[in-house]
Structure formats: structure tokens, C-alpha cells
Amino acid sequence: MVISAVTFHDHSRNKPKHPSPPTHKEPSMERVRKCRSCAREGKIIGHGLCPACYHRERRKKLALRRSSPDGGLIVRLDFQPMAHLLEEIRKRAGHELRDVNLQILWELSKSLGAGV
């Protein structure tokens, strides 16, 4: 009497059921520069900011929107890239006896053709 043993190997158990999606960014492709806000060298995730500064700014914006009913109408703007524009607006505001914020609104309304 001959008894033969047949073993079946299920190789599908070793493979993941759902392969991970392909990554579009290679680790070596990450942007490493100085943060616009804190000037530390590191990974930049958006708007020229490191993760800590990016999320801090995001939380500030969310808090501002939640804190006031007209929070969606307030814009914070960094004039560093075009500081000369802010200086020109300040000069015009001084000549026209306006607050700088109101002068910015006035200049925008004139350039867009919207009546004030």
C-alpha cells in the first residue's frame, strides 16, 4: 500500500490583498529650503513654510473665521515680496488723509472699476 501526500501551498497569503498606491514623490524629491516664517532649513510643505509654521498659520486663519461673523471678509497679506507697493500706498494714504487699510480698499476699488 502506497500513501502519497500532496501538500498545497497557498502563496496568495504572502501577498498583500491591496497593493499600496504608487507614490508620486520620491523621498529625495522633497523640497528642502529655508522656511519663509522661521528661517529654519527643512522640509517645505506649502506656501514656503515648514510644517510647524504652515499648520500654525492654518490654525490662525481657522480661529479668525470662527471668532467673528465677518471673518471670511478679512484678508491678511504679507507685503514682503513687494514692499515697495506698501510704501507707495502709505504715501498716498498720508496725502489723502486715510488709514492705510482704507487706502488699500480705495486703490483696489479704483483699479477694479467698482464704485465705493
Could you tell me the pTM of the whole model? Answer: 0.39
Nearest CA to 48 out of 63, 32, 71 is that of 32
Residue 2 has pLDDT above 60, yes or no: no
- How many distinct structural domains can be found in the chain? 2
Measured CA to CA, the distance from residue 29 to residue 90 in angstroms comes to 42
Residues 98 and 83 grouped into a single domain: yes
Q: What is the residue-wise DSSP string for 34-99?
A: E-TTT--EEE--BTTB-HHHHHHHHHHHHHHHHHSTTGGG------GGGHHHHHHHHHHHHHTT--
Residues 60 and 81 grouped into a single domain: no
| 51 domain-assigned | yes
Least confident of 29-43, 45-59, 63-77: 63-77
| 68 domain-assigned | yes
> What tens digit of pLDDT does each residue of 63-109 get?
766 666 665 677 788 888 888 999 999 999 999 898 998 999 999 99
Measured CA to CA, the distance from residue 78 to residue 65 in angstroms comes to 18
CA of residue 46 relative to chain centroid, distance:
4
Q: Pairing relation of β-strands 41-43 and 32-34?
A: antiparallel
- Domain of 42, in residue numbers: 29-74
